[in-house]
Structure 1
Amino acid sequence: MRRSERLLYAANGVDLRVVDVALTDGEHVERPFIRTPRAAGAVVVRGGRVLLRWHHHLVTDTWGWEIPLGEIGPGEQPEAAAARHVEEQTGWRPGPLLPLIRIRPAGDVADCDHLVFVAHQAAPGAPADDVEGGRAEWLPMLRIQQLIDEQAITSATTLAALLHFLADLLQTRTPH
């Protein structure tokens, strides 16, 4: 049970805190904890391909394929945020978005809450923001496992969303 928490550092909407937690035996321990804004994104598919972006993480200096995802603005609906991030990050405007999965990728160390939608169509939109030198591409769904095996997809949110989408697809195509 969480008893108290104290702020250590806050910047850019992210807080680093220390939480005092009571264990089942009554002992107390302090655990680091990160508070983050909620985020929304989408798995956008059409014709057996998925829209992913090749993204550079500045802090870790790593690259990887990811679904478009970003912060939900104040007063913004998650669906609207997901559509906005798809267009800003890929240059494609998604069709109707349907809920796919809610992911908390950081387990017990952060309150990351990612709401992921799925769209089965997209149209060209405004040019993508190319802030970090990445690019967006329509990749064959049949390559997803290979990209995971090659560690070209390592984002927990992207992994969970794509694997959930593929499991749903397999379930609908497999007779019971």
Structure 2
Amino acid sequence: MTQWAVHGRRQVYGSPWVELWLDDVDIPGTGRVDHHVLRMPKECANTVVTDPDGRFLLLYRHRFITGRWGWELPAGWVEPGEEPVAAAAREVEEETGWRPGRLAPLTEFDAMAGISTMHFHSFHAAGASWTGEPADRAEASRVEWLAEDEVVRLLAAGEVAEGASLTALSYFLGPHRLAARAGGGR
């Protein structure tokens, strides 16, 4: 078993959103190198929201960084002192205008473990109630409830390209469902 040894680190850039560090690491079989690390001061949360008809609540938006349009789950930062489940509920309502029902943990994952500390908490909400127009109109050009077969088609066609949404939806439709059917899932 090989483990990289960290001999030191220095910050290159920092903001409330992201920090860039240069870590002095010893890679077994390679030697010492400077490795760039993106440290995220906050964790993230997203939510798979379904309704009694089996539809999924998704946002359609443009991401200027990648230059792509695509479907995503409601998501955002977990603020200091805030529980991830509270952040997930807040983000759903702010971005969609729907207040989610009870949120249950779905999965957690490290989005880019080879270079970043970005950590996601994913939840599932079975149901939501309409509260009005989204508070943050800049989040999406459309908010829609989509049938499961349409969500699967979008996933297969690469129209859900944002990594955290792709991960949570795929997990929900795959391992989560299989575990629930077997009686052992969350």
TM-score (norm 1): 0.91
Answer yes or no: is the 8 Å Cα contact 2:59–2:140 preserved in 1. no
| Equivalence map 1:38-57=2 (5 Å) | 38-46=43-51, 47-57=53-63
Structure 2, gaps ≥5 residues long: none
Question: Which of 19, 33, 40 pairs up with 2:37?
Answer: 33
Name the CA distance, whole Å, in 2 between partners of 1:117 and 1:133. Answer: 20
| Gap change, CA 1:132 and 1:51, over 3 Å in 2 | closer
Name the CA distance, whole Å, in 1 between partners of 2:92 and 2:107. Answer: 16
Answer yes or no: is the 8 Å Cα contact 1:87–1:126 preserved in 2. no
SS in 2 for 1:131: helix
Match of 1:140 in 2: 147
Name the CA distance, whole Å, in 2 between partners of 1:157 and 1:39. Answer: 9
Name the CA distance, whole Å, in 2 between partners of 1:110 and 1:150. Answer: 27
Which letter maps to 2:88? Answer: A
Per-residue Cα deviation, 1:76-124 (whole angstroms, up to 9, x for no partner): 1111100000001111000000000102111211010010110001000
Q: Which moved further from structure 2: 109-118 or 160-169? A: 160-169
Structure 1 vs Structure 2: percent identity of aligned residues? 35
Question: Which of 170, 174, 177 pairs up with 1:169?
Answer: 177
Moved over 6 A (4+): none
Structure 1, gaps ≥5 residues long: none
Aligned residue-pair number: 175
Q: Which moved further from structure 2: 47-56 or 58-67? A: 58-67
Q: How much is the aligned-residue C-alpha RMSD, in angstroms?
A: 1.8
Answer yes or no: is the 8 Å Cα contact 1:4–1:19 preserved in 2. yes
Cα offset, 1:21, TM superposition: 1.1
